[in-house]
Structure 1
Amino acid sequence: MTSTQEHRTRPETASVAETLRVAVEVALPTLAGGVIKRRPAAMAVAGKLQFDRPAVRLLRRLRDRHYGRPLRLRVPGRSVELVLSGADVKRVLAGAPTPFSPSTVEKRAALSHFQPHGVLISGAADRPARRRFTEAVLQPGRPLHELAEPFADAVAQEAAVLRSSAMLDWDTFNVAWWRVVRRVVLGSAARDDTTLTDQLERLRLDANWAYLHPKRTQLREEFRRRLTGHLDRAEPGSLAAVIAATEDNATAADQVAHWLFAFDAAGMATFRTLALLASHPAEQERARTEPDGQLSFLRACVLESVRLWPTTPMILRETTEETSWGPAGTTVLIFTPFFHRDPALPYADRFEPDLWLDGRAAENPALVPFSAGPAICPGRDLVQFCAGTMLANLLRDHRFEQASGPVLSPDRPLPATLDNFHLKLALAG
């Protein structure tokens, strides 16, 4: 690192008052909403009070006051840095797994409740093989997964059920989405195995508390046995079949547990995207008339939904060695809503899917809907495919309009926090 770079990344130290405001206005609302499993009641409060708006304003003031340098928070017994510039977002995420490891104290405490050997919390010795396995199965970087055709068939069948209802709320959509997820990941024989995903939900609710909640070892083992039974069946046309043909799959159950967890956030993003399209008639018509099989615009709409309301509001990294940011073990925080909804962005509070098609998003290193760098989400392409295919099927020969929930309109700034649990959409024809 050059002396100039060193100077720019040398942290400033927050005052006690600044640290407390970050804790109260940024960290606590994020934790209250549920980091591993969203809490509907807390999200309803967050949506009404628009918690992300004051958080973004606070971080903007801190950025201006501290010249965009990393801000060292005064946390007793810990070294914690808050990222305040897009350049540092890029630098930190590009530095995985060393010196900025995705495996942090908080993630290990939370995710070990249901996936103790997952790649995201793996150490340096185990991470490469687990990442290779994950990429071999999920196939990031390919326009279409090798099983795109059976996946598309599963999505179409479940979307057809949804189109039979005049009103679409979160609960109805979520049932269909999880059927898709279980079919894609484990096969059609798992379509109605709600017990499996209910067990995972209970473990994830515990994981929200990280090290403050005792682990339910028996429940985790029951979940693992049930999941392993589906994986051992290796149903053709599912990811389980790809897993069976992949080497280094010793920890497959833990990786699959993480994929199921991640698909939950993908469902939220898909439903929010549909709500955006329902409230933006021009974009809805463009999506409806997109040629079959392309989905480029719908994928952009999904990315834009995640920009507006990040499903991972806090990206964490932990230094593996001493750096200009602090000693080894320093926790680095990236609050994505700040960078995605920065008031300096001309499109901050509006629905602008074209920025993912015309190069503007690529020019901004702080727009990270699926993270970035070597630890970027390996399921990003599969998620966009499933979400885009679901939307394409729902919009085929139908139009939606918003029936209830916060107002989403092209004529006013979009809400900073969106409670998807209480959105309702009406089938307009």
Structure 2
Amino acid sequence: MARSDKERNTVRDGADHEQGGEAMPAGRDAVPSIAPLPRMSFAHSAGFWLKVALPTFLKGLIIRRPWAEAMAERFDLDSRAVRYMEKLHRAYQGRSVLVRNPIRPQAVLFSGDDVKAVLAGTPQPFTPASDEKRAALSHFGPKLSLISRGADRPPRRELNERVLETSASVHSHAEIFRTIVAIEMNAVLTRAAEKGALDWPIFAEGWFRMVRSIVLGPSARDDVAVSRLMARLRGRANWAFMMPRDEEARNELLSRLQVYVNAAEPGSLAALAAAMPASGAATHQMTQWLFAFDPAGMTTFRALALVAPNREALWQSMEEVLGERRDLGFLRASVLETLRLYPTTPAILRQTTQPVLLASGALRKGTGALIYAPFFHRASSVEAADRFQPARWIGRDAEDLLPFVPFSAGDAVCPAKNLVPLLAAEALRALLSNHRFFILEPGWLKSDRPLKGTLNHFAIRLGLEPLHPPGPE
């Protein structure tokens, strides 16, 4: 069937006019006659893989590589990636496009309407269990709800939502969690004061003690072997298809987690998971929680580094910390704003389970859909895109500002979308209650210049001093 001039919708700036492959197949895979997505030129595709995909992959999608984070910050690679995505956005007139990929059809989304449709269309016809994600996450949790399809997904997703209490703004165990957070963050402050600075190793040590206590129970507080085993498997997961699975290490991890599920220590997430049906594959879901709390810690530490030199944000934070409010609205907003600036999931992946029509064109069954979050969070069209302005989140949920996607959205939204900001805000409250922080490294955070696209949390160093120095004896 011939297409109209409107349906052809050719592109500018050197893009070729080849539409996304041959005609749609007939039969059950057929779709209404509409132009497929345009396909990027060879030059644009090469630029995308080199300037956007490669730096993202090198930094580590499952666990961050310190050397790559340092390189990305030094050369501001993430800002360059956003600028290149803006170039492609102009070239293709805001339409989502197919990037040239020898493995399978791969769409890169530029349209906010397409982003909303893809996220709202999860898990059908846009499954979150893409081939790449399944290859990566199966290194440590092959029964994760995030990579489950068909009848396996609902009970596994339900376990996540019920244990993490996705729909609740405040978790039912919040008071227990607040106590754990306060204890561990006070220990962090003690160690930092002894060393004369707060850096990532000190913060991370306390953060993961907190995470193990909350997820597994108080007896797991000092079980660093679980965290090391998890990190080892995540390192292999960074390579997805390219690294064979370490079945022995994975089975050891799952066995260790099962011990905590069996113990079901009161007040822990493991205890809540133990009460769920076995079809939810609790230990597999717990690997995802342990994994996800790492980027949550990165975000909390970055948020502290962003608040500390920002006079207005610091004033509002201290007003909240020293007041009687329990919701910590500004500190929560600071966490969300940090995720906007530095998304810990830069590439959100989906894959079509059937032919689909988007506003930009048609997608075949099996086509990947990539949402590059930094582009939507930091495009020049976003107000104060490169400034730390938590106020934009006050009174709003993360999903209210789509296509900002700090926790994804739709039926595959992060099930800890409320729990993570709660714990992060409580950690910030504990840190800011009795100490003033100031930037030691990186030096560029001290200036009023627009923020870089990468903030390497491994290299952050904060000086600290008590708000109320002890008086003379």
TM-score, normalized by the shorter chain, greater than 0.5: yes
Q: Does 2:273 align with 1:257?
A: no
- Percent identical pairs in the alignment equals 44
Q: Given the alignment, which residue of 63, 77, 80 partners 2:106?
A: 80
TM-superposed CA distance for 1:245, in Å, is 1.9
Match of residue 161 from structure 1: 187
1:67-121 CA distance string (max 9 Å, x none): 1111111111410000012221111111100111100010010000000000000
Preserved contact between residue 97 and residue 109 of structure 2 (Cα < 8 Å): yes
Match of residue 125 from structure 1: 151
Task: Please say which of residues 140-149 and 204-213 is displaced more in the overlay.
Answer: 140-149
Matches within 5 A, 1:231-270: 231-248=261-278, 250-270=280-300
Q: Provide TM-score, normalisation by structure 2.
A: 0.87
Preserved contact between residue 196 and residue 223 of structure 1 (Cα < 8 Å): yes
TM-superposed CA distance for 1:428, in Å, is 3.2
Match of residue 398 from structure 1: 435
Q: Does 2:83 align with 1:60?
A: no
Q: Distance in 1 between matches of 2:295 and 2:141?
A: 17
Alignment RMSD (CA, Å): 1.8
Aligned residues: 426
1:312-365 CA distance string (max 9 Å, x none): 000000000012342111001110001100111121000010111155976642
Q: Distance in 2 between matches of 1:235 and 1:259?
A: 17
Q: Distance in 1 between matches of 2:399 and 2:157?
A: 24
Preserved contact between residue 9 and residue 69 of structure 1 (Cα < 8 Å): no
Q: Which amino acid aligns with 2:384?
A: Y
Match of residue 48 from structure 2: 22
Q: Distance in 2 between matches of 1:9 and 1:119?
A: 34
Gaps of at least 5 residues in structure 2 are: 1-5, 8-31, 467-473
Q: Distance in 1 between matches of 2:460 and 2:77?
A: 18
Seen in structure 2, the aligned counterparts of structure 1 residues 115 and 266 have a Cα distance that, compared at 3 Å, is same
Q: Distance in 2 between matches of 1:59 and 1:7?
A: 29
Match of residue 150 from structure 1: 176
TM-superposed CA distance for 1:285, in Å, is 2.1
Preserved contact between residue 86 and residue 364 of structure 1 (Cα < 8 Å): no
TM-superposed CA distance for 1:273, in Å, is 0.2
Q: Distance in 1 between matches of 2:103 and 2:45?
A: 14
Q: Which amino acid aligns with 1:152?
A: R
Q: Does 2:393 align with 1:367?
A: no
Q: Distance in 2 between matches of 1:333 and 1:287?
A: 35
Q: Provide TM-score, normalisation by structure 1.
A: 0.96
Seen in structure 2, the aligned counterparts of structure 1 residues 358 and 186 have a Cα distance that, compared at 3 Å, is closer
Structure with max Cα Rg = 2
Q: Distance in 2 between matches of 1:180 and 1:348?
A: 33
1:6-64 CA distance string (max 9 Å, x none): 99995111001111100000111000000001011111111101111111111111111
Gaps of at least 5 residues in structure 1 are: none
Q: Does 2:309 align with 1:287?
A: no
Match of residue 461 from structure 2: 424
Match of residue 224 from structure 2: 194
Seen in structure 2, the aligned counterparts of structure 1 residues 53 and 279 have a Cα distance that, compared at 3 Å, is same
TM-superposed CA distance for 1:294, in Å, is 2.0
Q: Distance in 2 between matches of 1:310 and 1:418?
A: 11
1:174-227 CA distance string (max 9 Å, x none): 000000100000111000000011001000000000010011111111111111
1:219-272 CA distance string (max 9 Å, x none): 111111111111211000111111122234541000000010000010000000
Seen in structure 2, the aligned counterparts of structure 1 residues 359 and 264 have a Cα distance that, compared at 3 Å, is closer
Q: Does 2:342 align with 1:309?
A: yes
Match of residue 300 from structure 1: 333
Match of residue 307 from structure 2: 277
Q: Distance in 1 between matches of 2:199 and 2:236?
A: 26
Matches within 5 A, 1:336-355: 336-355=373-392
Q: Distance in 2 between matches of 1:8 and 1:276?
A: 47
Q: Given the alignment, which residue of 352, 366, 377 partners 1:319?
A: 352
Structure 1 stretches of 4+ moved >4 Å: 6-10, 358-363
Q: Does 2:72 align with 1:46?
A: yes
Q: Distance in 1 between matches of 2:457 and 2:33?
A: 42
Describe the SS at the equivalent of 1:289: helix
Seen in structure 2, the aligned counterparts of structure 1 residues 361 and 312 have a Cα distance that, compared at 3 Å, is closer
